[in-house]
């Protein structure tokens, strides 16, 4: 299986997102557009600007409560998520907690046949195996694309989050890895265990422990030589 990469783009202007996206897609399979780094009023213009590339984009609008930058109301965020879905990107990242609380949004996205990446992050720890398995089961009810990311404080945490791939009997597109220095290796190993892609940055890491596109390509080239 060829390891696929998704470059996270978190720029503060539509023009910068567009130029970074073009750069990223030359050497990567996908790009994640962190639209929460924009002002809400800039998002429609940005989506129009990059429209022709959206079939290779994961669109994310992460609220501050989930470690993102979007600080508007939840009502406003939900309406923007609906707008994003109308542009039919490769995936729309929607938090598990958002879908759980907002049945109307879930129904809307389902009727629009939006490809949802249901996500859940733990920025402080890696829960026990049973909690992770339960979370995976609950999340996979919303979508066939699931992202579970935790924070590793030691190697055992990293191994635990990767163990989720063992229980993926339903052939869900599972992306599961850990953040932080102890989780770094999981960003490579996850693709060997079944993750459809791994997240990288164009340069400076967007998340703790993230490899740059250049670093990941170098690692993969060494791997291919062996």
Which are the catalytic amino acids? 121, 147
Whether residue 130 contacts residue 119, with contact meaning beta carbons closer than 8 Å, is answered with no
- CA–CA separation, 3 vs 188, rounded Å? 9
Name the strands in the sheet holding 57-60, side by side, starting at the edge strand that comes first in the sequence: 173-179, 145-151, 116-121, 91-95, 57-60, 30-34, 5-9, 198-201
Residue in the structure block whose two tokens are 């992460």: 62
- CA–CA separation, 90 vs 226, rounded Å? 33
């Amino acid at each position: 299986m060829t390891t696929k990469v998704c470059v996270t783009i978190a720029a503060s202007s539509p023009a910068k997102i567009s130029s970074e996206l073009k750069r990223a897609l030359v050497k990567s399979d996908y790009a994640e557009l962190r639209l929460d780094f924009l002002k809400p009023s800039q998002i429609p213009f940005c989506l129009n600007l990059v429209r022709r590339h959206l079939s290779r984009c994961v669109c994310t609008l992460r609220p501050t409560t989930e470690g993102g930058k979007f600080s508007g109301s939840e009502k406003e965020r939900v309406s923007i998520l609906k707008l994003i879905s109308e542009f039919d990107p490769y995936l729309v990242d929607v938090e598990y907690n958002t879908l759980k609380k907002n049945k109307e949004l879930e129904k809307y996205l389902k009727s629009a046949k939006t490809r949802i990446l249901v996500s859940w992050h733990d920025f402080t720890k890696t829960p026990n195996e049973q909690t992770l398995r339960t979370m995976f089961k609950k999340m996979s009810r919303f979508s066939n694309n699931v992202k579970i990311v935790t924070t590793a404080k030691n190697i055992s945490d990293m191994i635990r989050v990767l163990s989720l791939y063992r229980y993926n009997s339903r052939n869900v597109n599972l992306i599961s890895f850990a953040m932080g220095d102890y989780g770094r290796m999981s960003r490579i190993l996850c693709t060997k265990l079944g993750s459809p892609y791994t997240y990288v940055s164009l340069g400076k890491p967007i998340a703790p422990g993230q490899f740059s596109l250049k670093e990941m390509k170098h690692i993969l080239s060494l791997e291919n030589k062996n």
